[in-house]
Structures are given as structure tokens and as C-alpha cells.
Amino acid sequence: QVQLVESGGGLVQPGGSLTLSCVVSGFTLDTYAIGWFRQAPGKEREGVSCMNSRDDLTYYRNSVKGRFTMLTDNAKNTVYLQMNSLKPEDTGVYYCAANPQGSMTVQTMCIVGVHHDYLEFWGQGTLVTVSS
């Protein structure tokens, strides 16, 4: 049974840091590409970062480049999203999603993943609130 379980969300002040985790089960990280997505209240879901660990390719949306880093620990079947210099506009529910490797580029994954049905598996989300 495939599962993706996010954790690590919380309340943080602007300029602070958080690291989100996505523990996957039912598949290995070398067979599925992983993406992080977020949805702010009243706004459309957007792709934050998507990674193909087999080809060592990572895509970041422009607004998080230089602040967010996506990492994997294959031994723990876990994907991380390190978030630094957080801004209020980073607030939202963060989801991880998985799609078979090679089915699309990481950039395409982050673009089409705004539509839930385009990607195969999703986690339940973790809330990040950036506020003073």
C-alpha cells in the first residue's frame, strides 16, 4: 500500500526556518519522482519543488530559489524540504506527491501537479504558517 506522510509544519516568524518531511512507503525513491506543493487559503495549489533523484534533477519555483532545498534520504525513504528565510507568502498547506520516474520532467511535474488528478499519489498535507 502506497502512503506519503508529511510532517514538520508549524508556526514560524518571518525570516525563520522549517524542515518538512515526507515519509513514503509502498515504493522506493529511485522509482518515483517527488514533488512538494502548497496551497494558501483561497488560492490555487502551486508547485514548490520537484525532484527526480534517479537523474539528480530538481526544479524550484522562482519565488523559493535560494531559500528552499529539497533533499532525499533513500535509506529512510524520506524526502525533506528545507525552508529558510521564510516569508508570510510561504504560508499554506504543504503536500508531497509522487509520480513514476520518467513520466514527465520535474518542471512539468511541478506545473501539472496543481491539478490533483495529474499525479499518482498524494500525502495529507502539513500546515506552515509564517507570521509574527
Q: Which of 29, 28, 17 is nearest to 53 (CA)?
A: 29
pLDDT at 92: 98
Tens digit of each residue's pLDDT (9 = 90 or more) over 33-80: 999 999 999 999 999 999 998 888 999 999 999 999 999 999 999 999
pLDDT at 56: 86
| 103 — pLDDT class (breaks 50, 70, 90) | confident
Terminal CA-CA length for the chain:
40
Tens digit of each residue's pLDDT (9 = 90 or more) over 2-29: 999 999 999 999 999 999 999 999 999 9
Q: Which of 76, 8, 2 is nearest to 36 (CA)?
A: 8
